[in-house]
Amino acid sequence: MKQVIVFFIVASINVVIHAMDIGSACLTREEVKQVIRQLQRDNEDMLAKMQSCGCDAALDGMQTAETVSNALPATNTIFGVSAPSPKPEIYIAPVPVEPEMPECPEDNPMYQMINGKCIYYEETRFDYAGAQENCGEVFEGGRLFEPTDEAENDMVYKEFKIMFGESYIRVGIDDLTKEGEFTYASNGEPVPMGPWLNDQPDGGSAQNCVVYGNYGDSKWLDYFCSGRLTSICQKTS
């Protein structure tokens, strides 16, 4: 039944649109109206079935003879006239909008869009807690950068190194919850990679916060959470 109704709706709309095209070229407004009314009379049984099965919404969406004919150009009233005239306006459903990428300032080199994340490089030095708080102010609800894989880890560090030649830069990874188990600060999930520098991590319970720690390389080391360092923030939405 549904297939029949859908077919009916599509077929009816096609006929109406076709009638409108004819009307713009060689039928009067009244003739178009007659075509549409005839179409509706021929399908009274089907209309009744559509109403009985709860398809009133679909019926409401159909254009009546009056609305279609009224949309025709007023000047086009003579049979066979081929003078140019504007097409009647036809409602076009809006195209769904794709989710926008996070906004990221383009006129400030401290902000970079990397791997779909808006990154901010913070020169002011903070301890771990202060750096997290600062990121939440830089971006509403922002946080310290949490690399999801080694490629992203390398890309973000590379940009920072180009600009500042820095090292010891904070990211949002720590083992504060359980010694030796490094997790993302935002959700406590285990970090799925470990580009550690040489024998790192080696700080035991004294060093629980991860930083980029080697000049010219994106390798990590564990470091004091209390140290005041530069940091990298990411926007979260």
* Residue of this chain nearest to Ca ion (CB atom): 208
DSSP state of 177: S
Q: How far is the CB of 103 from Ca ion (least distance, A)?
A: 36
- If the CB atoms of residues 152 and 175 are measured against Ca ion, the closer one turns out to be 175
- If the CB atoms of residues 55 and 210 are measured against Ca ion, the closer one turns out to be 210
Packing angle, helices 44-52 and 29-42, rounded to 10: 60
Could you give the CA distance from residue 23 to residue 43 in angstroms, rounded to a whole number?
22
How buried is residue 68: exposed, middle or buried, by Cβ count under 10 Å (0-12/13-18/19+)? Answer: buried
| DSSP track, 107-122 | S-TTEEEETTEEEEEE
Could you give the CA distance from residue 155 to residue 115 in angstroms, rounded to a whole number?
8
- If the CB atoms of residues 42 and 181 are measured against Ca ion, the closer one turns out to be 181
- If the CB atoms of residues 153 and 208 are measured against Ca ion, the closer one turns out to be 208
Q: How far is the CB of 129 from Ca ion (least distance, A)?
A: 16
Could you give the CA distance from residue 9 to residue 5 in angstroms, rounded to a whole number?
6
Q: How far is the CB of 199 from Ca ion (least distance, A)?
A: 14
Q: 11-15: long-range contacts at Cβ-Cβ below 8 A with a sequence spacing of 24 or more? A: 12/39, 12/43, 12/62, 13/62, 15/39
Q: How far is the CB of 203 from Ca ion (least distance, A)?
A: 5
- If the CB atoms of residues 158 and 178 are measured against Ca ion, the closer one turns out to be 178
Instruction: Look at strands 229-234 and 169-174 and give their pairing.
Output: parallel
Residues in touch with Ca ion (CB under 5 A)? 175, 208
Q: How far is the CB of 230 from Ca ion (least distance, A)?
A: 21
Kindly report the backbone phi and psi dihedral angles of residue 90, in degrees, each rounded to the nearest multiple of 5, phi listed first. -120, 135
Could you give the CA distance from residue 224 to residue 126 in angstroms, rounded to a whole number?
12
- If the CB atoms of residues 24 and 208 are measured against Ca ion, the closer one turns out to be 208
Q: How far is the CB of 96 from Ca ion (least distance, A)?
A: 47
Q: How far is the CB of 228 from Ca ion (least distance, A)?
A: 19
- If the CB atoms of residues 146 and 152 are measured against Ca ion, the closer one turns out to be 146
